[in-house]
Each structure stands twice: as structure tokens, then as C-alpha cells.
Amino acid sequence: MFIYSYIAIDFNNQLTYSTLIAKSKKHAFINISERNLIPVQIKLKTLFSLDKKNINYRIHFFHQLSLLSSSGINLVQCLKILHTNCQLPFWIDIIENSIVHIEKGEKFSQYLKKHPTIFNDTIISIITIAEKTGQYEQSFSTINSILEHNNKVSLLISKSIRYPIILSSFSIMLLIIMMVYVVPQFENIYQNTRHELPLVTKIITFISSFLREYLVYLFYFLLLSLPLVFKFKEKTLSLLKNTIIHLPIFRKSLQLHNLSLYFLTMHSTINVGLSLSECLKCTIQTINNHQYKKDCEHVHISVHKGELLSHAMKKTKFFPDLSVQLMSIAEESGKIHYFSKYLFKYYSEQYIFITEKNLKNIEPILLLLIAILVGMIMLAMYLPIFNLGNVITEL
């Protein structure tokens, strides 16, 4: 995708200057024409990448829409006000296209479906309900709350994993330096002897030789990869966070994270007027673990068939006893929205606490692992010296 700047003539014969995102100049021309504008000049500006700044703008976008909707103005006017204050080409393009599609009589949610990376199924479902009920202010506020919560949790996890990543990086550098510069010094001493070297020494010297032979290629590979890593920095960090969080030590954290998202979505969707069955359908989209998603789908199907929510939850491994008991009380009292909010807060706090605790526990494990690896290298290098008497006799 590319960012194009363009000059066009509107229906008032006035020149319009703006930007848009398109796959090619041809697509840009078609896009401008669909906005009832006559293209005069289209110029390639830069390559577009969906970075953190663009993704995080969603929070501001829905927060501003919520505030503007509360003043009583219609959705198109809200978007036009946002458009005048937006500086990001990607969002300018989304807002302009949204205005065009709404003015043509199409639904706001239908256009947003074209950007699934930014607007997931939960967001689309909430906006669809807003279009039916007219409760845009509450719906946009709900979406804003969901996004703020997800962003807050993501920042906390990023902060917690920073030290283990730095520690691991420096440890790898230290081990490479030892294998490339320290081990060869010992290797030179032992290569003239006819004495059989211990197995561990052979393994370490083999790894050292392999690294010295292919280190240049590895260095060039990393050097060529750096631009891609920086370009897709957010995706790389996201992949790294997902990899770490799916380690066995974080199994409980993963469950708590999905539970907090599940009950947050349930509470938010109930508040905007969705039926329980529709709410449960929305919650499935927020779960990113295969087994947990299957459990959520089972709950949705069971409730849709007329079974009680608490009974359906009890048959799965995903939902702890506490959530089953509270949902049973919620069904009897008719306060599902209240108990779902309580469970969201409870599991969210538990997730943050346990994840930070687990990440802190990783630090001594990493230090111990580094000590073992360095110790093995030194043992492998000094072990032949213990047989020095035999070596001297053979010489």
C-alpha cells in the first residue's frame, strides 16, 4: 500500500488538497472519483505501514466520536469535524471514505468491515447495534473503554518483558564472544596434543568452529533483516509478546487474559442492547486461544438452544468455578451486566498481577541458565588440563 497526495476539483469548482491510501495510482484515481471529485494531480508520497501510531489512533477516534455524538449532531457531521483535525493519512482516508459511503445511504459498519485489522468483529457488532438503536454515544464510549483496557494491558506487559529481553540479548552476545574469541585460544593449545579430548570439549570446540565459519553470513543476514525489523517493529514486538505469553509458565496468565476479555466484551455488548446470544457470539471473536475459543463456541451454541449460561459454562474447562457461581446468581437476579463487569475487573487484576510475577520469576531462571552455559564452556576448556600429566608423558 502507498500514500498518495492529490489535488482535485469538487462540485463547487474548488481545489481540494488531500491524501489517500491505495495499492496503485490507478486505484487512487478510482477512489478519488468515487468521492465525487475530479482528479487534477496524483503524486506518490511514501510507502504506507500500519504502525503503532495509526493503531492507537482508534482510541482517540472513538473517544472523539463519543463526545461529538453526545452533543446531538449526526454521524456525518461528527466525522467531518474529526476530518478537519486529523493529521494521519491513513485515518484521513478512512474518515473521507466513511463520509462518502454514509452520504450514499450505506451503513457506517459496512464500510469499516473493509479494515478488519483495525475494526474487529466486536467493534463492528457494537456499531451495528448503534445503527439500529441510535445510541451512538454509548456504543462509541463502550468501544473506547475496550480499546483503552487492551492498550493498558499491552503497555504493562511490554514494560514487564523489557528487562528479560535485554538480559537475554546481552547474554547471547557474551556467549558468542566467548565461543569466537576465548575457545579458539584453548583450541590452539590442545590441537598439537595426541591426547583424546573429553566429549564436552569436542562439542564446544565444534560449535565454536561452526560459529566462526558462518558468523559472517549470520552478521550479514541480521544486517539485511534490520530494516525489515524496524519497519515492522510493532508486528515483531506483538509476535514476541504472543510467543512469550504462550509459554507453559504463562498458561494461567493466558487463561486470565482471555477471561478478562470475555467478560469485558459481554458487559460492553449487553450495555448497548445486544441479546445474550449475540453478546456471546461477540465474545468468541475476542478469544485468541484455540481450545478456549472452542469452549466459548460451545457456550454460545448451548445458550442459543435454551440452556442456562452457568450450566453451559460449567461443562467447559475455560471458566473457573467462581465465574460459574456468579453467573448463576446473575441469571437468578437478572443482573448479568453487573456481575460480568465485576468478573472483568477481577480477572483483569489477577492477570496483571500473575503475569508480572511470572516475568519477575523468569529473571533468576535466565541468570541461572547463563551461569550454567558459561560454566559448561569453562569446564570444557579446562577439563583437558586435569589430564595434563598424561599429556606430558605422551609428549
* Residue 141 maps to a domain: no
| Number of independent structural domains in the chain | 3
Task: Compute CA distances 260 → 233, 274, 310, whole Å.
Answer: 27, 19, 17
Task: Tell me what pLDDT residue 300 has.
Answer: 92
Total-model pTM:
0.68
What is the arrangement of strands in the sheet containing 2-9, beginning at the earlier edge strand? 15-22, 2-9, 38-47
Cβ atoms of 246 and 239 closer than 8 Å: no
99 and 1 in a common domain: no
Unique residue bearing C-alpha cell 491510501:
21
Task: Tell me what pLDDT residue 342 has.
Answer: 92
Show which of 66, 99, 119 is a domain's final residue.
119
Task: Tell me what pLDDT residue 231 has.
Answer: 63
215 and 153 in a common domain: yes
Q: How crowded is residue 201: how many other Cβ atoms within 10 Å of its Cβ?
A: 21
pLDDT along the chain (395 residues), means of 10: 81 81 82 81 79 86 90 89 87 88 88 86 80 82 84 78 80 85 80 74 85 82 74 62 64 85 84 82 80 90 90 90 91 88 89 82 83 85 70 53
CA 243 to chain centre: 11
* Residue 102 maps to a domain: yes
Residue 36: domain span: 1-48
* Residue 5 maps to a domain: yes
63 and 179 in a common domain: no
115 and 23 in a common domain: no
Q: Which helix (H) or strand (E) holds 376?
A: helix 336-382
195 and 111 in a common domain: no
The per-residue DSSP string of 198-215 comes to PHHHHHHHHHHHHHHHHH
Q: Rounded distance, CA 387 to CA 382, Å?
A: 10
Task: Tell me what pLDDT residue 230 has.
Answer: 64
Write the Ramachandran bin of 192: left for phi over 0, alpha for psi from -120 to 50, otherwise beta. alpha
Say which amino acid occupies 221: F
54 and 43 in a common domain: no
CATH number at residue 243: 1.20.81.30
What is the four-CA torsion angle of 280, 281, 286, 291, rounded to 10 degrees? 90
67 and 44 in a common domain: no
Task: Tell me what pLDDT residue 387 has.
Answer: 65
* Residue 315 maps to a domain: yes
158 and 57 in a common domain: no
Task: Tell me what pLDDT residue 244 has.
Answer: 61
309 and 230 in a common domain: yes
Task: Tell me what pLDDT residue 311 has.
Answer: 92
Cβ atoms of 262 and 340 closer than 8 Å: no
Core vs surface per residue 337-361: b (16+ CB within 10 A) or e? bebbbebbebbbebbbebbeebbee
345 and 323 in a common domain: yes
* Residue 201 maps to a domain: yes
Quote the cell numbers at residue 393.
608423558
Return phi, psi of residue 273, to 5°.
105, 10
99 and 23 in a common domain: no
* Residue 127 maps to a domain: no
215 and 87 in a common domain: no
* Residue 125 maps to a domain: no
What residues form DSSP beta bridges with 46? 3
Say which amino acid occupies 251: R
Q: Rounded distance, CA 140 to CA 68, Å?
A: 10
